[in-house]
Amino acid sequence: MKKIRLINKVALSLFFAASLVMTSCDDLLQVDPRQSIDASGALNTPDAVDAAINSVYARLRPVSNYGRDLLALSDALADVGQTTSNSGRLIGENNNQPNAHFGAGLWQNSYFAINEANLILDGLSNVQGASPAQLARWEGEAKFLRALYYFDLVKVYSYIPTAIYQPGVIDEGGIPLVLEGVITSDAAFNRKSSRATIPAVYDQIYADLESAKTLLTSRGTQFASSGAASALLSRVALYRGDWAKSVAESTAALASAVGSVQSGTGYVNGWKTDINPESMFEVRFSIAGESIGVNESLQSTYSTLLNLTNKNSQGGWGDFIPNARVRGFFGLTPLLVGGSATDNNNYDVTRNDDIRGFLYTTGNTVRGAGRQIESIKFLSKNGFAYGDNIPVIRKSEMHLNRAEANYQLNNAADALAELNAFKGLRGLQPVDLTGQALLDEILLERFKEFAFEGHRFFDLKRHGKDIVKTTPNVLLPFDDFKFLPPIPQREVDGNPNLNQNRGY
CA torsion 166→170→172→174, rounded to 10°? 100
What's residue 1's pLDDT? 35
DSSP three-state, residue 100: coil
How far, in Å, CA of 314 to CA of 297, rounded? 15
Answer whether 398's CB lies under 8 Å from 227's CB: no
Backbone angles phi, psi at 60, to 5 degrees: -80, -15
Three-state DSSP at 393 gives strand
Mean pLDDT per 10-residue interval, the chain, length 504 residues: 32 37 33 38 89 97 98 98 98 97 98 96 96 98 98 98 84 91 81 94 98 96 98 98 98 98 97 97 96 97 96 97 98 97 98 98 97 96 94 98 98 98 98 98 98 98 98 97 96 93 92
pLDDT score for 31:
35
> In DSSP terms, which residues pair with 334 in a beta bridge?
349
d(CA 153, CA 114): 11
Nearest Cα residue to 322 out of 357, 346, 270: 357
99 Ramachandran zone, left/alpha/beta (phi>0; psi -120 to 50): left
Angle between helices 396-408 and 412-425 (to 10 degrees): 160
Q: What distance in Å separates the CA atoms of residue 323 and residue 471, rounded to the nearest whole number?
A: 7
Q: How far is 35 from 16, CA to CA, in rounded Å?
A: 20
Phi, psi of 267 (to 5 degrees): -65, -45
H or E segment at 82?
strand 81-83
Q: Using an 8 Å Cβ cutoff, are 278 and 393 in contact?
A: no
Q: How far is 465 from 163, CA to CA, in rounded Å?
A: 9
Taking each helix axis as running N to C, give the angle between helix 226-240 and helix 132-157, from 0 to 180 degrees, rounded to the nearest 10: 30
Q: What is the pLDDT of residue 23?
A: 36
Beta strands 334-336 and 279-283, pairing class: unpaired
Question: How many other C-beta atoms lie within 10 A of the C-beta of residue 308?
Answer: 13
In angstroms, the Cα distances linking 253 to 142, 242, 434 are 20, 16, 27
- The span from the CA of 81 to the CA of 370, in Å, is 16
Q: Please report the pLDDT score of residue 186 as a whole number.
A: 78
Q: Is residue 320 within a helix (H) or strand (E), and if so which, with residue range? A: strand 320-322
Are the CB atoms for 322 and 84 separated by under 8 Å?
Answer: no
β-partners of residue 347 are 336
In this prediction, residue 12 carries a pLDDT of: 37
Mapping DSSP to helix (H, G, I), strand (E, B) and coil, where does residue 132 land? helix
d(CA 429, CA 440): 16
Contact (Cβ atoms closer than 8 angstroms) between residue 388 and residue 285:
yes
Cα separation, 374 vs 360, in Å, equals 5
DSSP state of 334: E
The answer to whether the beta carbons of residues 327 and 447 sit under 8 Å apart is no
Task: Report whether 444 contacts 356 (CB < 8 A).
Answer: no
What's this model's pTM, rounded to 2 decimal places? 0.93
Of the candidates 113, 144, 58, 68, the one whose C-alpha atom is nearest the C-alpha of residue 388 is 68
In 3D, which of 237, 259, 255, 225 has the Cα closest to residue 408? 237
Per-residue buried b or exposed e for 25-50, using 16+ beta carbons within 10 Å of the residue's own CB: eeebbebeeebbbebeeebebbebbe
